[in-house]
Structure 1
């Protein structure tokens, strides 16, 4: 579904500029942040700015991500295919919109181990395709595409896996790991209150009631695995992932590599190193400050990996892709999507439009903004095409190399479905059905990216036209695979 005309797609693959066509096959470094809102990073707000939240308060510097943006392309309208972790990753790693193979829902906890919670048997990933092209393939970090043995990353094209299978993980072992400052959810506080924030005497633990659930047991039956063997990570988890990613560069042993570093940051549980928490003493809100410490560690990790590529002489021929898997859950984390509407779990812009960057020296124009809508499926197609692979006809993305060098993006329709939530974008117009039995809403994103003015009643002809497009797209979707027990 949702693909450009085949003739236009073939043209894109054939007429790319000489710099792209003649470049050697690149290494591919895919960096995935978790739950990072659109408005958090400095690169979203112009030269000389930093991240912005709450109208300018709670600023968290992101110098290393800003440097990546300065060296590459910022996609100002970069979309994911779902605003929850698992379906978004299913689309990204397969190149196919996940509603076409039923991976539409988001397994959590024990549901991750249901046989239908993973990618369908026979569904190839980008790692499968790149491995067939001679690439070393490794996944470091979060998987969240099935905890059943049949869904293990080693069975989905990755030669090496170091990480966890479920939706989240603690950042430090509470008994033997490094000390952390934690801001965790509870329904009832130690003093018996059911509303407010409680702080431990040592200032390292905050418990709050500002969320409808208590902190889930993320680590239950969800060990850190080195391939298939449980291990205990050393130090703060974000840093441990960065070390393992760096080691995987050694393991590539001179081969071109596909390294997917899927950070758990800034997903809950909210835990930051004390030194990172202290470094943000200008932030008064302790929840926002813990979040800032988590983002600081993520930003520094991106910088460390890029520095390692440079030290190894690999930077010039490595395609670096960065994105968040969905919009930020503001109430849970403080992660802001401003000025976009809503966040994680929503099909308004704040749930779907995310920070997206791509850098490839000498091939992608550095320090530029690409203003047209793209989505993560384009990253998948670009990586495979750049590696010399044939992009499957069923894939729903396009190779961005010729587009970023002057060939126009083909006209196409983007569509989303997450259970009863539905949305579609055609040109600058977008329709949204935010919940079951709700009326469809219509927005002009060119004039109203915050989706504050519903035009459905004022422009019925446009609404009907987009509803007809939606009917065509939904006909190509299959029912979601059910993995919850009754």
Structure 2
């Protein structure tokens, strides 16, 4: 009789414990949201006063090209239709991005600097690996590591438990001071010293204080993403999609507000004047017009299509009845990003600047599995955070009508470390002689009169214990947790299906030696990781992880 009473009681206790845990998490998220809303005063939208060039262009000499670097955030390889894909089985095309690619050069084997955003952006700015700069991990807002770990522990998705070091988290510098060291030389500093007007619009994620803010790293002007909502959550113009299976998404909805700042790092926040992707495009066009008569460098660092998923109602209706709801919102965000590229190119044409403007388009990394959308990186395996091809293969298109023939395609493996030396060379400037630059100038690969090709055979990626090398067509991935090696011949197996680590010990040893040599020269990480989260390689976060499915622990 006692057993019959105890069994229902135990079930009730388990249910109560589960409800209690869920309630605790929700209460913590409410607290995060309350603190975020009261952390800063966010003022009303205001007009941005961009510096104006002289009314007449300077005479004499050949004017160097204008340069526009457009970086999408978390854009999947299959999200654009350039490569024959597109969102929702191709229902949503990206004609303006496709046109940019068709009118310039396509780098068919292009890689991000890392599987996550901030290290990739640091490599674009400096041309240097994290082993040199120490900027190896993506800084996260205060409380994010512990909160995300707590939420993840309460999800029944089959993944192993994560690791969180609370004491280390407490000892780390504040979020605003975790950034790219001020002594690093950025492409913006070099171009500014060459006489360019330099403007940054959008995401930065390389520090906001102590000499790390955009204005302190070479940009004359900076319209900074101070938080991360595209529109207020309850705005009648917006359609939201929340991902209850994603701990990061739950944290972002609680933590983010709708705010920018201008030339103040992170202070003096104010609301943007519209949907973030469109608003930043509006301001970018103002920069183009303001600098018509002098060379300029514009770094347009979009937040789209990163979560939280928010689209304008107009775009949501335009993409049609796509299911599930989150895919429709995501497709609408892709539409806005494509529109941005089209409007930038149209503005250059209208101002008579298109021929002598270098426009580059890329993404900071591949699409994430935490979206719950399985095809964003098709045909490649893996997601953002992993360093399988799906996590680090990104589009890279360069348009420069005066120098690069339309329809040019390069098959040479290139990466974000090549951005800085390429832009410096395009401007006719010189790389700094006092520091080592790891990247190469891409222009000889795509300009007919240039010296074709280069001798580089090797690219590296590193995130703590998770290290990767591509040497020729061979790629090796090494992790300590789990203790595993993946070896692929990308010429024969571009989607990384057949692990050859056990069948080719000589090639494995050769690539391990390259990784070890690269690591020997490392200065070490400036900000050690406080979490290690399990990431499934072949399943989205909306799918249930099963025993035998492959995964990696991602340190950050």
Q: TM-score range by the shorter chain?
A: 0.7 to 0.9
TM-score of the pair, normalised by structure 1? 0.84
Q: Aligned pair 1:461/2:519, yes or no?
A: no
Greater mean deviation of Cα atoms: 140-149 or 435-444: 435-444
Q: Which residue of 2 aligns with 1:183?
A: 241
1:215 Cα deviation from its structure 2 partner: 3.9
Q: Which residue of 2 aligns with 1:108?
A: 140
1:434 Cα deviation from its structure 2 partner: 4.1
CA contact (8 A) 1:178 1:236 kept: no
CA contact (8 A) 1:164 1:223 kept: yes
What SS is found at the alignment partner of 2:467? strand
Segments of 5+ residues of structure 2 without an aligned counterpart are: 1-60, 144-172, 532-556
Q: 1:123 to 1:333 in 2, by over 3 A?
A: farther
Distance 1:282 1:172 in 2: 22
What SS is found at the alignment partner of 1:214? helix
Distance 2:141 2:72 in 1: 20
Q: Aligned pair 1:375/2:415, yes or no?
A: yes
Q: Which residue of 1 aligns with 2:86?
A: 51
Q: 1:291 to 1:221 in 2, by over 3 A?
A: closer
Q: Which residue of 2 aligns with 1:91?
A: 123
1:103-129 deviation digits (Å, cap 9, x = unpaired):
001111237944651111211211001
Q: Which residue of 1 aligns with 2:437?
A: 395
Q: Aligned pair 1:216/2:252, yes or no?
A: yes
Distance 1:212 1:361 in 2: 41
Distance 2:455 2:514 in 1: 17
Distance 1:64 1:221 in 2: 30
CA contact (8 A) 1:172 1:178 kept: no
What SS is found at the alignment partner of 2:142? helix
1:174 Cα deviation from its structure 2 partner: 3.0
Q: 1:213 to 1:142 in 2, by over 3 A?
A: closer
Distance 2:397 2:232 in 1: 32
1:94 Cα deviation from its structure 2 partner: 1.2
What SS is found at the alignment partner of 2:106? strand
CA contact (8 A) 2:113 2:392 kept: yes
Distance 2:506 2:63 in 1: 49
1:58 Cα deviation from its structure 2 partner: 5.9
1:157-177 deviation digits (Å, cap 9, x = unpaired):
001111225xx61110235x4
Q: Which residue of 2 aligns with 1:444?
A: 489
Q: Aligned pair 1:339/2:374, yes or no?
A: no
Trace 1:42-441 onto structure 2 (pairs within 5 A): 42-45=81-84, 50-51=85-86, 57=89, 59-110=91-142, 113-114=174-175, 116-165=177-226, 169-175=228-234, 177-186=235-244, 209=245, 214-217=250-253, 220=256, 223-228=259-264, 229-252=268-291, 254-332=293-371, 334=373, 336-392=376-432, 394-404=436-446, 405=448, 407-441=452-486
1:411 Cα deviation from its structure 2 partner: 2.8
Q: 1:483 to 1:155 in 2, by over 3 A?
A: farther
Distance 1:400 1:150 in 2: 30
Give 1 or 2 for the bigger CA radius of gyration: 2
Distance 1:237 1:52 in 2: 21
Distance 1:144 1:437 in 2: 29
What SS is found at the alignment partner of 2:286? helix
CA contact (8 A) 2:281 2:340 kept: yes
Segments of 5+ residues of structure 1 without an aligned counterpart are: 1-21, 187-208
Q: Which residue of 1 aligns with 2:549?
A: none
What SS is found at the alignment partner of 2:341? helix
Distance 2:523 2:210 in 1: 24
1:423 Cα deviation from its structure 2 partner: 0.3
Q: CA RMSD in A?
A: 2.2
CA contact (8 A) 1:115 1:483 kept: no
Distance 1:292 1:77 in 2: 25
Greater mean deviation of Cα atoms: 430-439 or 233-242: 430-439
Which consecutive aligned stretches of 4+ in structure 1 deviate over 4 angstroms post-superposition? 210-213, 217-222, 483-486
Distance 1:221 1:292 in 2: 23
Distance 1:218 1:93 in 2: 30
1:415 Cα deviation from its structure 2 partner: 0.7
Q: Which residue of 2 aligns with 1:4?
A: none
Distance 2:392 2:529 in 1: 25
Distance 2:354 2:342 in 1: 12
1:148 Cα deviation from its structure 2 partner: 2.7
